[in-house]
Amino acid sequence: MNCKKCSPLKGTIKVPGDKSISHRSVMFGALAQGRTEVTNFLPGADCLSTIRCFRQLGISIENSKSTDHVIVHGKGLHGLSKPADILDVGNSGTTMRLISGILCGQSFETSLIGDESIQRRPMGRIMTPLAMMGADIKSQPENGCAPLAINSVLGSHAKLTGIHYNSPVASAQIKSCILLAGLYAEGETSVTEPSLSRNHTELMLTEFGASINSIGNTATILPEPILTGRRIEVPGDISSAAYFIAAGLLVPNSEIMIKNVGINPTRDGILRVCRQMGANIVLENVIDHGGEPVADLVVCSSELTATQVSGELIPTLIDEIPVIAVLACFAKGQTIIKDAAELKVKESNRIDVMVDNLTRMGADITATPDGMIINGGRPLHGATIDSKSDHRIAMSFAIAALLAEGETHILNAECVDISYPNFYSDLKSLNR
Ligand code: S3P
């Protein structure tokens, strides 16, 4: 994919449905009794992996790749059946970690595999708490990574055991995995995080009928609820909107509206950081979708100044840090991103990959053990970018390319299909 400098961006765009919420709508719909109808579902490769896995577990799910409308015919908490084959999660960490929590509570064994990237990502972070609950989950290569094998323990223990888990990392995937296993446990299960990660599981499972109590950074779930199928309207994904927010702020004389974006406070760190940097972003038509706040965002080009991104803010913008690094290249002064070592274990090592590729474009950027330091203001020039098949890297560099002198060539640019299949055509639609 070749990208280059563009004229002002104008117009209105609607980003696709939220990836985290789309995954959960299928998973929780499968565990509920009856029909769950999902609109604005994200038909990206990751969420289609979740649909494929639940079909293998005996759940009937109606959808077609081109539509964002999904109907899940749930069979209740104990309605899943043993799959004939290994479950393949593709590139999706959310699918692998959340489904593991569910599968540990079943009376049949399963195994899970995924692509090359997922086989390098740490699964010990879910295996440890699941083992504490009495689950039998193993890394087949014995390196803490997938493929994973899950054996049923229901024969000997009858149930998993509820625990209180102090998670060393603020991660919604770890938290959700444990809470889902807690559906099948004896007694209550709770998770305390060092800072609060996205709370879509807590909000949506409660809407389905689960009993979840969230106080500060601790979420507690009671077992064996009766979950009932429901309608879910998925908000637009703020992580996808982030690329257009950055483009609208950086490309001179731009004004764009991004419609129907989820602005849950556990996800809206990108808005807070942009405002800290002096961005002109206005929220209009704020409404509520089943506990998830949604708004239209009006973004106008702005002069940006450097900032510090750290601490409790990090989990609220973890997937937006690559595009924040791009913003920082055009901000006046030194931006410091820290407390973000988690970036090393995403679809790629996002610290190294951002620093390598932005350096190639002429940026003044240095990697640190838990983030990066960027001195803004150096002009960028086109270069060949290795996306490492990481969707968020490819999209971040498509935005950097809009401001660079000359042409930028993004390798494996089609990986945007993971979370935003129409990304390039949507971007083009704002630059007529
Ligand atoms: C997600 C949680 C985050 C995020 C990922 C989606 C989720 O991961 O990076 O893209 O849907 O729960 P961690 O929980 O590992 O930080």
> Residue 187: what pLDDT?
96
- In the chain, the percentage of residues whose pLDDT exceeds 70 is 99
Closest CA to ligand 1's atom 16? 171
Domain 2-16+235-429, second-level architecture: Alpha-beta prism (3.65)
Q: Identify any residues that bridge with 292 across adjacent strands, giving them in sequence order.
A: 289
Closest CA to ligand 1's atom 10? 319
Probe ligand 1: pick from 26, 95, 173, 203, max atoms within 8 Å of CB? 173
- The rounded Å distance from CA 181 to ligand 1 centre is 18
What are the sequence ranges of the domains in the chain?
2-16+235-429, 19-233
Rounded to whole angstroms, how far apart are CA atoms 364 and 385?
Answer: 16
Q: Which atom of ligand 1 is nearest to the CA of 239?
A: 10
Catalytically active residues are 319
Residue pair 279/306 in contact (Cβ under 8 Å)? The answer is no
- In the chain, the percentage of residues whose pLDDT exceeds 90 is 94
The per-residue DSSP string of 30-60 comes to HHSEEEEEEES---SHHHHHHHHHHHHTT-E
- The rounded Å distance from CA 332 to ligand 1 centre is 30
Rounded to whole angstroms, how far apart are CA atoms 201 and 209?
Answer: 12
Overall average pLDDT of the 123-151 stretch: 97
Sign of the four-CA dihedral 25, 26, 32, 34? positive
Probe ligand 1: pick from 21, 50, 94, 179, max atoms within 8 Å of CB? 94
Asked whether the predicted pLDDT for residue 155 surpasses 80, the reply is no
CA distances from 75 to 60, 71, 225, 295 (A): 9, 13, 13, 34
Q: Which atom of ligand 1 is nearest to the CA of 171?
A: 14
Superfamily of the domain at 19-233: Enolpyruvate transferase domain (3.65.10.10)
> Residue 156: what pLDDT?
54
Probe ligand 1: pick from 197, 234, 390, max atoms within 8 Å of CB? 197
Phi–psi pair at 205, nearest 5 degrees:
-65, -35
pLDDT in tens, 8-37: 999 999 999 999 999 999 999 999 999 999
Closest CA to 222 of 208, 214, 211, 213: 211
Q: Which atom of ligand 1 is nearest to the CA of 172?
A: 14
Q: Which atom of ligand 1 is nearest to the CA of 201?
A: 12
> Residue 373: what pLDDT?
98
Asked whether the predicted pLDDT for residue 194 surpasses 80, the reply is yes
Q: Which atom of ligand 1 is nearest to the CA of 19?
A: 11
Token reading at 7: 């004229």
CA distances from 40 to 15, 66, 68, 109 (A): 10, 12, 5, 33
Phi–psi pair at 411, nearest 5 degrees:
-80, 145
Token reading at 208: 């389905």
Q: Which atom of ligand 1 is nearest to the CA of 175?
A: 14
Closest CA to ligand 1's atom 13? 171
> Residue 393: what pLDDT?
98
Residue pair 74/36 in contact (Cβ under 8 Å)? The answer is yes
Closest CA to ligand 1's atom 11? 20
- The rounded Å distance from CA 121 to ligand 1 centre is 12
- The rounded Å distance from CA 173 to ligand 1 centre is 5
Rounded to whole angstroms, how far apart are CA atoms 314 and 288?
Answer: 24
Residue pair 142/414 in contact (Cβ under 8 Å)? The answer is no
Rounded to whole angstroms, how far apart are CA atoms 260 and 15?
Answer: 8
* Mean pLDDT for the chain overall: 96
Rounded to whole angstroms, how far apart are CA atoms 95 and 48?
Answer: 10
Asked whether the predicted pLDDT for residue 66 surpasses 70, the reply is no
- Of 51-60, 226-235, 329-338, 423-432, which range is least confident? 423-432
Overall average pLDDT of the 326-348 stretch: 98
Three-state DSSP class for 406? coil
- Of 11-20, 57-66, 352-361, which range is least confident? 57-66
Residue pair 271/299 in contact (Cβ under 8 Å)? The answer is no
- The rounded Å distance from CA 364 to ligand 1 centre is 29
Cis peptide bond N-terminal to 147, omega within 30: yes
Token reading at 156: 């000997």
> Residue 153: what pLDDT?
83
- The rounded Å distance from CA 172 to ligand 1 centre is 6
> What residues are in contact with ligand 1 under a 6 Å CB criterion?
20, 94, 171-173, 176, 197-198, 318-319, 342
- The rounded Å distance from CA 432 to ligand 1 centre is 34
- Residue 212 CB neighbours (<10 A): 19
> Residue 157: what pLDDT?
55
Asked whether the predicted pLDDT for residue 195 surpasses 60, the reply is yes
Token reading at 337: 């991103």
R_g of the chain, CA atoms, integer Å = 21
